Structures are given as structure tokens and as C-alpha cells.
Amino acid sequence: MRSKIAIYPGSFDPPTYGHMNIVERGLGIFQKIIIAVARNTSKKSLFTPEERVELLRKLFKGRRDVEVDYFEGLLVGYALKKKSNVILRGLRTVADYEYELQMSFANKNLSPNIETIFMMTESRYSHISSTIIKEIAFFGGSVKNMVHPLVEKTIKAKLKERAK
């Protein structure tokens, strides 16, 4: 089965310009990208999965070639449910590669028809991570060159709400 649809999974807490760049560039290869927001219990989240889905839908509003969804459980099961055999993953660093390589082997073991495509983040986004953005924002620093203005506004509102 050749896929015209790629699943781009992640926590996206918050979505960054790097994430958006991977989607835009991925659309040069695939007809459709499904951004699949994962419930990750091992990470301390700023936003709920539902809030992240809503934020991403606003960022890609009007785009028929981008779908935003969330999933729980095994990624390969989700990909098969969505009739895709391709998982798209963005890489920033060697540490990302090592982790993603292990995940791709596990996914391949679970479903031999699943292929993982790694896309290097453009260098101007390689220093950006959701974790760093949350820390900068928490301590009052500016994240305006790392996230879309809508995301920046939403982060500030969320942190203000939590401070009450």
C-alpha cells in the first residue's frame, strides 16, 4: 500500500514554528498530513490534548491537506485506522535521532508495513523545543520568534490562569 497520507505524531505542547515547518515541507511529499496529538503521560503538559488539537486546528484553519486529531494507545494502530503506512517525524538533534530510531524499530516490529520518514528541521528551528519554550515563557521571557503569535498569546493566558 502506497500512502498519500502521513501521520505526524507528537505532543505539540505547545506547537512551535519547527512543527509547522515540518508540516509545510511534508506537504511537498504527501497529499495530506494528519497531525496526531498524543496523550503523553510521561511529560508534564501545559495544555490538555484537546487544547493542543484546538490550537493546531486554528493554526492550519482552511487547509484541506492538514487534519488535526488526537490519539491514545499505539501509534501503529492509529496509523492503520487512518489508512496510512507512513509516520513522519521531525529531527532537530542527534539525541532526537537516537530516540526516534528506537521508536521506528518498535513500530516496524509491531506493523511491518509501517514506514517512518525522518525530516531534518531547518537549522533556524533546530534550537526550538516545546520544553524550552515552556521554561522561557514560565520565567517571563519572550517566545515570539519560536511560536506563532496565536500560540504565544495562548501560552501567556494559560500561565496567567495557572498563577491565580
Q: Which residues are catalytic?
A: 19, 43, 92, 130
DSSP the chain: ---SEEEEEE--SS--HHHHHHHHHHTTT-SEEEEEEE--TTS--SS-HHHHHHHHHHHTTT-TTEEEEEE-S-HHHHHHHTT--EEEEEE-SHHHHHHHHHHHHHHHHH-TT-EEEEEEPPGGGTT--HHHHHHHHHTT---TTTS-HHHHHHHHHHHHHHH-
